[in-house]
Amino acid sequence: MFRNQYDTDVTTWSPAGRLFQVEYAMEAVKQGSAAIGLRSKTHVVLACVNKASSELSSHQKKIFKVDDHIGVAIAGLTADGRVLSRYMRNECINYSYTYESPLPVGRLVVQLADKAQVCTQRSWKRPYGVGLLIGGLDESGAHLYYNCPSGNYFEYQAFAIGSRSQAAKTYLERKFETFVDSSRENLIKDALFALRETLQGEKLTSSNCTIAVLGIGEAFSTLDQETVQRLINEFEVVGEDPPAEASAAPDQSDGAEPGPAAAAAAAAADDDDQETPAADQGAAPMDI
């Protein structure tokens, strides 16, 4: 009821102590196509669904190399993601130049979070509309972090963001305890399975997903289409049985974030057009 009075700019609190603009920005992340990250002690795997806005166009790039030891997968407004990736690359390059050693992931994550926080406390700015899954390697091993538009960041063993990510999270919650000591191949296999969950019946092929790996002794790289298809065939990940939790409704609020009603999604800017019966029918196919 009072929502519309207090959601005009990011510097206005609601009586309940919420910043609606920030929450709307988190909603933009949920509308993007899925991105998944998993880590073991030695490797991190990032996987995402490729959504092309039409058959004529190529799909948006969602996984970026930041440095040999850091990669990022995004969900939400790709343009924001691209700009933040450039920022991260520059930070890594400058750190390497000054200290002749790779930027520790934890530091980069905090720098990003602080950057995001600034946009939640300036009346002339808006929050970044992108969630970042950052996989990186440093002296203490492999790490996976999630950075929100709100300026919060969390470390995860495995996580999924974007649309229909709840299905992937359910799969990951079942299996995450095995990830710590998982081999590189099994980690990729789990990523593919988790990704398949988000497709909800649609066949998983190398043309609708992207996988990237980094690990001890292995610089960040995106696997090429042939390798991915071979892995899909090997693990027989092709959509055999759609998961039992395949509900018609898209994933509603997740436990971690406060969830505004789906109707608010229509208010959020620049959403991808999904087949799911969400509130964003007829929204312009702009970003993923």
Partner 1 sequence: MTKQQANWSPYDNNGGTCVAIAGADYCVIAADTRMSTGYSILSRDYSKIFQLADKSLMASSGFQADVRALQKVLAARHLVSYLSFIYQHQHNKQMSCPAMAQLLSNTLYYKRFFPYYAFNVLGGLDSEGKGCVFTYDAVGSYERVGYSSQGSGATLITPFLDNQLKSPSPLLLPAKDAVTPLSESEAIDLVKTCFASASERDIYTGDKLEIVILNASGIRREYLELRKD
Q: Which DSSP category does 254 fall into?
A: -
The yes or no reply on residue 221 touching partner 1 (CB under 8 A) is yes
Q: How far is the CB of 96 from partner 1 (least distance, A)?
A: 7
Q: Residue 171, CB half-sphere, CA atoms under 13 Å: how many? A: 25
Tokens representing 220 are 């960040």
Of the candidate residues 85, 120, 150, 165, the single one contacting partner 1 (CB under 8 A): 85
Question: x/- contact string, 21-60, with partner 1 (CB under 8 A)?
Answer: ----------------------------------------
**In this chain, which of 3, 18, 82, 125 binds partner 1, going by CB under 8 A?**
82
Instruction: Work out whether strand 70-76 and strand 158-161 pair parallel, antiparallel, or are unpaired.
Output: unpaired
Residue with tokens 């992931």: 105
86 counts as binding partner 1 under rule CB under 8 A: yes
- Going by their DSSP bridges, the two strands 63-67 and 153-155 should be labelled as unpaired
Give min distance, CB of 89 to partner 1, in A: 5
203-227: b or e for each residue (b if 16 or more CB lie within 10 Å)?
A: ebbbebbbbbbbbeeeebebbeeee
Site for partner 1 contains 220 (CB under 8 A): no
- Report the C-alpha gap between 202 and 224 in whole angstroms: 21
Structure tokens at 267: 């208010």
Residue 129 Cβ, how far from partner 1 at the closest point, in Å? 19
- Note whether 163 binds partner 1 by CB under 8 A: no
Comparing CB distances to partner 1, the nearer of 66 and 278 is: 66
- Interior/surface letters 122-132, b for 16+ CB within 10 angstroms, e for the rest: eeeebbbbbbb
Does the protein bind partner 1 through residue 61 (CB under 8 A)? yes
Q: How far apart are CA 172 and CA 177, in angstroms?
A: 9
93 contacts partner 1 (rule: CB under 8 A): yes
Residues 243 and 197: beta-carbon distance below 8 Å: yes
Q: Count of residues binding partner 1 (CB under 8 A)?
A: 14
Residue 144 is which amino acid? L
Nearer to partner 1, 85 or 150 (CB): 85
183 binds partner 1 (CB under 8 A): no
CB of 51 to partner 1, least distance (A): 17
The residues with which 232 forms a beta bridge, in sequence order, are none
Applying CB under 8 A, the residues found at the interface with partner 1 are 61, 64-66, 82, 85-86, 89-90, 93-94, 96-97, 221
